[in-house]
Amino acid sequence: AYIRCHDDIGWAVTEEDAAAVGLHGFWHRAFLSDFYSGRFPGSFARGDTFQFNPKTQDRRISGSCASLAGLEVALESGEETAVSRAVDRILLIHSMIMAFGGIPLLYMGDELGLLNDHSYQFEPDLAADNRWMHRPKMDWAAAAGRGDGQGVNGRLFQGICRLIEARKQMDAFHAQASKRPVWTNNDHVFGLLRHSPRGQVLVLGNFSDQPQTITRQRLAELGFGGALLDRLNKRYFDGWFELRLEPYQAVWLEKAGE
pLDDT in tens, 59-84: 999 999 999 999 999 999 999 999 99
Model-level pTM?
0.95
DSSP single-letter state for residue 48:
E
Question: DSSP strand E in 13-85: where?
Answer: 48-50, 60-62
Helices 152-168 + 80-100 axis angle, to 10: 20
pLDDT of residue 14: 93
Residue 201 pairs in a beta bridge with 194
Buried b (16+ CB within 10 A) or exposed e, 12-51: eeeeeebeeeeeeeeebbbebbbbbbbeeeebbbbbbbbe
Domains, the chain, in order of start with CATH, read 15-168 (3.20.20.80), 172-255 (2.60.40.1180)
Q: For the purposes of burial, counting CB atoms within 10 Å of the CB of 71, is it exposed (0-12), middle (13-18) or buried (19 or more)?
A: buried
In the beta sheet, which residues pair with residue 200? 195
- The pLDDT score that the predictor gives to residue 230 is 97
Backbone angles phi, psi at 79, to 5 degrees: -90, 115
Residues with Cβ < 8 Å from 241, sequence gap 6 or more? Answer: 216
How far, in Å, CA of 128 to CA of 197, rounded? 52
pLDDT for the residue 258? 63
Average pLDDT score over residue span 137-164: 97
Q: What is the pLDDT of residues 22-39, one digit of tens each?
A: 999 999 999 999 999 999
100 φψ region: left (φ > 0), alpha (ψ -120 to 50), beta (else): alpha
CA 185 to chain centre: 20
Q: What is the pLDDT of residue 174?
A: 87
Residue 51 DSSP label: S
Say how far apart CA 30 and CA 58 lie, in whole Å. Answer: 7
Q: Are 150 and 139 in contact (CB under 8 A)?
A: no
| Cβ atoms 80, 134 nearer than 8 A | no
pLDDT of residue 219: 96
> What are the tens digits of pLDDT across the range 109-125?
999 999 999 999 999 99
Identity (one letter) of the amino acid at 208? S
Average pLDDT over residues 145-160: 97
